[in-house]
Amino acid sequence: MRIAIDILIGISIFFALAGTVGMLRMPDTFSRMQSSTNIGTMGVLGVIIGGIMYAIWQYGDYSMAVKIGILGVFYIVTNPISGHALAKGAYRHGYRPEQGFACDQYGEDLTDAD
């Protein structure tokens, strides 16, 4: 049991580290947004599942486990909303990467509509 919890927390730390390194290394705004999703999904889920198991196994405190579960569901539900809103807002505001996109079918349709 103890080893399973340690492995889950270790997975979480590994993916959060990958997201952090990605956010420091990626060249433009939208790619950095992809790396921040990495922190918000697997970096959260490992700690949440491990925390639920630890709260039940060590303390026998079910209300604490339920509260951690609510936190996890809240992160999973709200993370894509803020990511989508920020990506659309940044694109509409006129931020583009310096080296350009490989293909940009959104920009073509936007200029057609205007």
Partner 1 sequence: MKKTTFPAFLSTAIVCYIFWLLLTGQIVAIFNGNAAPEVLIAGGLVSVLVALFSARFFIHRSAFYLFNPVKLLALLFYCIFIFGWELLKANWDVAWRALRPGKLKINPGIVKVPTELKSEYGLSMLANSITLTPGTITMDIADQDEKTWLYIHWLHVDCTEPEQAGDSIKGTLEKWIRRIWK
Partner 2 sequence: MNELLFGAICFVVMALCLVIRLIKGPTIADRAITADAIDILADMALILFALFTGRGIYLDIALVTAVLGFIGSVIVARYLEGRL
Where does this chain bind partner 2 (CB under 8 A)? 6, 9, 12-13, 16-17, 19-20, 23-24, 29, 32-33, 36, 39-40, 43-44, 47-48, 51, 54-55, 58-59, 61, 63-64, 67-68, 70-71, 74-75, 78, 81-83, 85-86, 88-90, 92-93, 95
From partner 2, partner 1, none, interface partner of 109 (C-beta below 5 to 8 A by class) = partner 1
Compute the Cα dihedral for 82, 80, 94, 21 and give only its sign: positive
CB closer to partner 2, 60 vs 108: 60
Under a CB-based contact definition with an 8 Å cutoff, are residues 37 and 79 in contact? yes
Q: What's phi and psi for 31, nearest 5 deg?
A: -65, -35
CB of residue 41 vs partner 1: minimum separation in angstroms? Answer: 6
Q: How far apart are CA 12 and CA 24, in angstroms?
A: 19
CA angle 67/68/69 to nearest 5° reads 90
From partner 1, partner 2, none, interface partner of 4 (C-beta below 5 to 8 A by class) = none
Among 34, 53, 56, 72, binds partner 1 (CB under 8 A): 34
- Torsion angle, CA of 107/109/31/12, rounded to 10 degrees? 160
